[in-house]
Amino acid sequence: MKKTPLYEKHVRLNGKIIDFGGWYLPVEYSGIIPEHEAVRTKAGIFDVSHMGEITVKGEDSEKYLQMVLTNDISLLNNNQIAYTTMCYPNGGVVDDLLVYKYSSVDYLLVVNASNTEKDFTWLKENLFGNTEVLNVSENYAQVALQGPLAQIILQKVTEKDLNEIEFYYFSDNVKIGSIEALVSRTGYTGEDGFEIYFDSTKAEEMWDMLLETGKDSGLMPAGLGSRDTLRFEASLPLYGHELDEDITPLEAGLGFCVKLGKDNFIGKEALVNQKAEGLKRKLVGFEMIDRGIPRSNYEVYAEGRKIGYVTTGSFSPTLKKNIGLALIDSSYAKEGTEIEIIIRNKNLKAEIIKKPFYSKKYKK
Amino acid sequence: MKLLEDLKYAESHEWVRVEGNKAYIGITDYAQDKLGDVVYVEMPEVGTIVEAGDQFVVLESVKAASDVYAPISGTVVEVNDELEDNPALINESAFDAWIVAIDMSLPTEVDSLLSAEEYERIYE
């Protein structure tokens, strides 16, 4: 089991520590609902130091990333970020990740913690030209400061004008207090906010400084539980749920980061064919009509037969409704269609609704 | 963690308050803390016959569904409707928020339940 450099802080804050893909991390401190609400209305801070960081450097970096990723990296400006999937030849997903572009010869990939080793191996196996990939995850601590007051809080401890950092852009060498950091306007909550990367030896200093600075604004430490409900309401996918090696990004509704028009990339043929044939499955949002809470892997039925399964389901703290995401037969994907979720051997009624369940308030 | 001396406890973290032949059942303060915010209670129907050890209630927190087991045998005669609209009562006051009342078929089963002191040793 691994610990992030903030483990002791979580314990001292009475965080409920769980095993999250091999990492000791807090699922909640004061409770999932209050932490969720703090992020929606004020601000929350998450330790996301478990995320993996991989650098890609060298003359052929852009050409290489164009081959292994589905999005069009050539369109990125320096200091811009892209969300993308990385696919197998059959179109299944290796991982979803963020690409930070310093320059066309220097990139940082931020990947899911539990996939870091797998991704790194895959990236090495497919390496070509003058390109070097390095797993630098150990060097980085990362915190996510999220919520409508995130900027006001962070601005108090930096001279960098945060208005200069646009949505999905980053700034390097930003001084937060006395700590040098990379700051990006990104997140996984559906709110405005920042992800802050810095030397892992400074983790406790950064954590304390931000918590202290945000105290008067209602900033709360937030755990993995609310991170999950927040991303779920915003319908942001989670690898292992909405995405995996058997689900393509098209089925998951991530066509926006699959650029079928670009030159060859791994998975292109399979994805082009899937699109041409029409999607047999689609990721949909649904709301329970009957009482009950849907959970991952519950079966979905319609007209007496199984049409798919729930990828994520929960009580929504913002909407106060029981909602879910499900991967189902496309012919039932239309809004308003009635489906059934099998909860403890009972067929409970639900209805297809629009996603995202919660619309983003991102600063552009 | 709070405990009440006049209640009986099951190892699976339920409490029992005996009133005549009726047993009111809830979950302990320790259990609600482990569970986190309760957002839904799935009740058995009144009239359901249960045996000690049967799973008969499901509590759903934001994160997961957890089973509650009948600490004693009997027939469900009341369910706490208040929890339907306000399941958070379980978190706010676990020992007031009874979930189900059972008309006991084997009242002697109460004797084999744990005292507050014995229960405390389990989770310490």
Question: With an 8 Å Cβ cutoff, are A225 and B63 in contact?
Answer: yes
Question: With an 8 Å Cβ cutoff, are A293 and B63 in contact?
Answer: no
Nearest CA in chain A to B42: A292
Strand partners, B3: none
pLDDT in tens, A248-300: 999 999 999 999 999 999 999 999 999 999 999 999 999 999 999 999 999 99
Question: With an 8 Å Cβ cutoff, are B62 and A344 in contact?
Answer: no
Is A364's pLDDT higher than 60? Answer: no
List CB contacts of A55: < 8 A, sequence separation 6 or more: A106, A107, A108, A109, A132, A133, A134, A136
ipTM given for this complex: 0.86
Domain boundaries, chain A: 2-50+138-233, 280-364
Cα first-last separation, chain A: 39
SS3 content of chain A, % helix, strand, coil (to 5): 25, 35, 35
Minimal CA separation from B49 to chain A, in Å: 18
Write down the residue that tokens 């400074």 correspond to. Answer: A202
Question: With an 8 Å Cβ cutoff, are B62 and A33 in contact?
Answer: yes
What is the reported pLDDT for A141?
98
What architecture does CATH give domain B8-123?
Beta Barrel (2.40)
Calpha distance A106→A123 (Å, rounded):
15
pLDDT in tens, B39-86: 999 999 999 999 999 999 999 999 899 999 999 999 999 999 999 999
Nearest CA in chain A to B84: A291
Mean per-residue pLDDT, A341-355 = 97
Q: Does A27 contact B at CB distance below 8 Å?
A: yes
Q: Return the CATH number of the domain spanning residue range A2-50+138-233.
A: 3.30.1360.120
Mean per-residue pLDDT, A311-334 = 97
Judging contacts by C-beta atoms under 8 Å, the chain B residues touching residue A16 are 36
Pick the CATH number of A280-364 from 2.40.30.110, 3.90.1170.50, 3.40.50.300, 3.40.50.720: 2.40.30.110
Domain boundaries, chain B: 8-123
Buried b (16+ CB within 10 A) or exposed e, A240-273: ebbbeeebbbbbbbbbeebbeebeebbbbebbee
- More confident: B122 or A27: A27
pLDDT in tens, B3-53: 899 999 999 999 999 999 999 999 999 999 999 999 999 999 999 999 999
Mutate to test the interface with A, among B1, B34, B39, B45 (most CBs of A within 10 A): B39
Judging contacts by C-beta atoms under 8 Å, the chain B residues touching residue A292 are 40, 42
Calpha distance B102→B47 (Å, rounded):
9
Helices and strands in chain B, H and E counts: 4, 9
Cis peptide bond prior to A356, omega within 30° of 0: yes
Q: Tell me how far CA of residue B47 lies from CA of A280, A294, B44, B71, in angstroms.
A: 45, 27, 8, 17
Between A16, A229, A344, which is nearest B62 by CB? A229
Judging contacts by C-beta atoms under 8 Å, the chain A residues touching residue B90 are none
Q: Tell me how far CA of residue A86 lies from CA of A103, A181, A201, A239, B31, in angstroms.
A: 20, 27, 31, 12, 42
What is the reported pLDDT for A361?
61
